[in-house]
Amino acid sequence: MMKRGQKPNSDSRQRARPDMDQKVLDIRRTARVVAGGRRFSFRATVVVGNRNGRVGLGIGKGPSVAEAVEKGVFQAKKQVITIPLSEAKSIPHAVEAKFSAARVILKPARQGRGLVAGGPVRVLADLVGIKNLTAKVLGRTPNKLNNARATMEALKKLKTQNEKRKVITQDKKESTQE
């Protein structure tokens, strides 16, 4: 227990750093009409990641922005996925995905190329720890949530070289048995 006038030691001054970084992707004000007018609430789209191959996307709704962001972070932490990264801090192979009207394509880039991506794709790639990537949003929708979901679908499709080899050998075994 500290006495009056005593300074806290240096250990208690350092705050524990959370294991996941978070970034608010989008905040939207929503309204519902009730007797007497409109009731406003907020929808926050949040991305969490550890910059080392793990990332999650969550949506939170609440009467205030802070509450919506807090709920979004909670949802994102529940939906974290692990991504295989190459030695060049890139993705192992090119991948394309679609969610609703949003379409994205992700391609690996060589060392030193940097993160060539825009919007939600850039935020997700940064928080997952990808340093070299070329990406393009092909869909015409400006909806950040759907673009982020399409990017998450693309990231889920990524496989390491060993996983790809296993799938190919299983397919060959199945075709020879028929």
State pLDDT tens for residues 29-51.
Answer: 999 999 999 999 999 999 999 99
pLDDT (mean) for 74-94: 92
Q: Which of 78, 58, 56, 45 is nearest to 127 (CA)?
A: 56
pTM (predicted TM-score): 0.82
pLDDT digits (tens, 9 = 90+) for 111-135: 999 999 999 999 999 999 999 999 9
Mean pLDDT of 81-102: 92
Confidence at 14, pLDDT banded by 50, 70, 90: very low
Bridge partners, residue 54, by sequence: 82
Domains of the chain with CATH codes: 21-78 (3.30.160.20), 84-159 (3.30.230.10)
User: What are the start-end ranges of the H helices in the chain?
Assistant: 10-13, 65-78, 119-128, 144-156, 161-177
Mean residue pLDDT across the chain: 87
Question: Is the torsion defined by CA of 130, 132, 136, 142 positive or negative?
Answer: positive
What is the amino acid identity at position 128? V
Nearest to 25 by CA among 91, 143, 120: 120
What DSSP letter does each residue of 50-71 carry, written as one string? -SSSEEEEEEEEESSHHHHHHH
Neighbours of 43 (CB within 10 A): 18
Distance CA 146, CA 119 (A): 12
- Provide the sign of the torsion angle of the four alpha carbons 65, 66, 70, 73, taken in this order: positive
